[in-house]
Amino acid sequence: MEHLAEYFKVFSEPNRLAVLEALRQGPLNVTAVVEKTGLSQALVSKHLKLLTIAGVVKRQPEGSLVFYEVIDKGVFKLVGQAEKLLLDARRQQLDALAAIL
């Protein structure tokens, strides 16, 4: 249960999520992720390291570049599910509000 919470924590950070999204369409090297997200290089490196340790992303050096790739694209399904639940939660809250007014 603690491990599961830690896994969720991987996705609980906006910038980390942005880094993950940058990798949705395929492998990118660090600089490419930096340009695509607008985050600082040090920060991108940190998040990529976390994602690697979490087993979400795979690190592969190629010459002087280092490419990162999402291992199991099922993570995007997880993200999509969360988005859906988030929308439903919003609707429910509006409904609850409407029931009062």
Q: Output 46 or 76, the one with its CB closest to DNA.
A: 46
Of 35-74, binders to DNA (CB under 7 A) are 39-43, 45-50, 59, 63-67
Closest CA to 19 of 61, 41, 55: 41
Each residue 1-40 as x (binds a second copy by CB under 8 A) or -, in order, gives xxxxxxxxx-xxxx-xxx--x-------------------
76 binds, among a second copy, DNA, none (CB under 5 to 8 A by kind): none
